[in-house]
Structure 1
Amino acid sequence: MRSSYLFTSESVSEGHPDKVADQISDAIVDLFLSKDPEARIACETLTTTQLVVLAGEIRGKGIMDEAGNWAPGVKDEVEKAVRDTVKRIGYEQDGFHWESFRFENNLHPQSAHIAQGVDASGNKDEGAGDQGIMFGYAANDTPDLMPATLYYSHKILEQMAADRHSGKAPFLEPDAKSQVTLRYEGSKPVAATAIVVSTQHGKGYDEGEKEAELHAYVKSVVADVIPAALLSDETVYHINPTGSFEIGGPDGDAGVTGRKIIVDTYGGASPHGGGAFSGKDPTKVDRSAAYITRYLAKNIVAAGLAQRVTIQLAYAIGVSKPLSLYVDTHGTGTVGDDVIEAAIGKIEKLGGLTPRGIRTHLGLNKPIYQKTAAYGHFGRKAEGDFFPWERTDLVDDLKAAVA
């Protein structure tokens, strides 16, 4: 590891067009899982000027039959979930308004060929919903064991959204992006060298006193979020560097589910397998295996077995057991990486890391997903049934397994 370097991560707000799409897709996942915990869902969303389009495959009791007929009232519930999501985010603009945008629902029954490969039958356990590789990561940069650059990028936008919703910052509109660059010495962040925030704003906040008010507000949020020890007179701020940002959200740029996978995960600090999360039920290992690898990584660091760790799992569609498990502690481990790999295999409660084992251990067959779809899937508090992959309840099992 280099002794001194700069690293940068970005985040986008709940009002970013791609994040609007993610939240809509996960609102549909939650709606269908609330009706049938074993529902199969692959819901993609497109957002653009005054238009939302859903597409994808679904299957579930009380939702849609094999011929594509909706259960009574469900089609209306789908549209309501979509409009309620956009309303909650705060879009009431001429170019994108929750009440008046055109809506297209193109969801249809899941392919029978996918179903036969994935479903449990006879002596065959439930298989993975697709092939692929998934990565999990944890580092002791922050109390939540996340890369500090991404953690602070998320927190800046979360605070701005909270202030917009509360009325504290009425000049803010929903669309925003942030970016944080930190200088690291060894593995620890020591200084914030650059902060970038671009936020959609009300009319007139791109010049004069109103622009100065907006800039001062953003700097106050940064000061609240980033530790004072990391900020200095040498920190460079770029606030709305293009000048005006009145037109935003889906009216300013089309949004599609699954285009912010690095924002969703580790801000570039870890590899990514390429699969998105939102819109997918937990039989899809793109989602559930990414959650279990984060869970394992976080518990490994919390157990003191490493300061930083990356984990990879790989699956084949229709096959229950993972094809491979890889652990890399980047030279920070207190035991060998192979020892940790073997330890994970010894922990029976993980169910062999099969799709069913993952869903059972983490309790994933619940309508918990819309909250994940903005400000990151990881580094969030495990409150109630939400974000169970953030628990650190595997620490004792790991310590015992490596002893």
Structure 2
Amino acid sequence: MLPVDLPGTVRDALLAPLVDHHCHGVRRDELSRAGFELLISPSGAPAPPGTTHFDTPLGAAIRRWCAPVLDLEPHTSAAVYLSRRAELGADEANRRLLRAAGVMAILVDTGLESAELLSAAEMGRHSGAAIDEIVRIEQIEQDVAEMAQAAVDYLDSLAEELAARAARSVGMTTVIAYRCGLGFDPSRPTRGAAIAAANQRLSDPKARLTDPILLRHLLWAAVDVARERGLPVQFHTGLGGDPDVDLHRADPARMTGFIRALQPIGVPVVLLHCYPFHRQAAYLAAAYPHVYADVGLALTHTAAGSARVMDELLELTPFHKLLYSSDCHGVAETCLLGALTFRRALAGALKWRIEAGEWSAADAARIAHMIGSGSARRIYRL
């Protein structure tokens, strides 16, 4: 899996258990081929007639790296792979794939919870990893909106519920990038503006929140809670695995004004995914002391090309500002491949720097440890 000529200390650091600081549940039920293919494509749609989503970097990686975990030869056909998966059953396949990732702690974004997905506790039992929760603030808002009777009640309940949910979590996360974009006004809305927007919101509380005033109010209310409890706030940026995302609006550089506004407060900002804006994220992490970055599911979906993405991320990002996440969702293969592609991509970046004399083996091992687990344990106080 890793280059054979890596120094032993570096190899050990790369193979050490990881902290996956952002993932979701995986499906508990048996999947048809069509259902499985929908979950391995960010399009959320079937492949064109006569084609397959297995003919993607991720699909090829599943056949290469996940097949042996299910007792198959590498590069087995998609049909044989899915037949063996069905033969083992979803429970056993999930257990094997999650445990093969070599993860010691998983921070689960519970904003996508459903009966079809393993719960955070079940993810822990299947993977053998310690589990903590990351709360999604838009999901909390949805719950509050559907219960509130009046705008003032809505605002008060929102603050109370954010605080209550944060007390049981190690961090908060937001998908504001996918609701109104990251070029939002960084200022805190006035209470009057928030009440007016809330009145409109409560006229259709089951709708997806897209109002920029209420999204900003929600974000600042979450920041208040995060500051009080010493929690980081994750921002989904860039590639998000959702076809309705306007990608250009998810560039983290667009939220520079908000990042500046948070600097005196000291709330850590964690930029998730970032690709193809990972160089912008690298700059933000270098320029602002409270900003951190990862590339999450980008490594899984670029697969064999992930080494280039990792190398570009390391061009400027302070090493103690980088984190690992799989952004696993839907199928357990994405948890395993997230860890595997991360280790392989980082190994390649470390190897050439050692060979070029830029870093010592001790430096490389220390950096691998920081990115793989050390920084997440520090930021999330695990």
TM-score category (smaller protein): under 0.3
Structure with higher Rg: it is 1
What TM-score, normalized to structure 2? 0.27
Higher strand share: 1
Higher helix share: 2
What TM-score, normalized to structure 1? 0.26
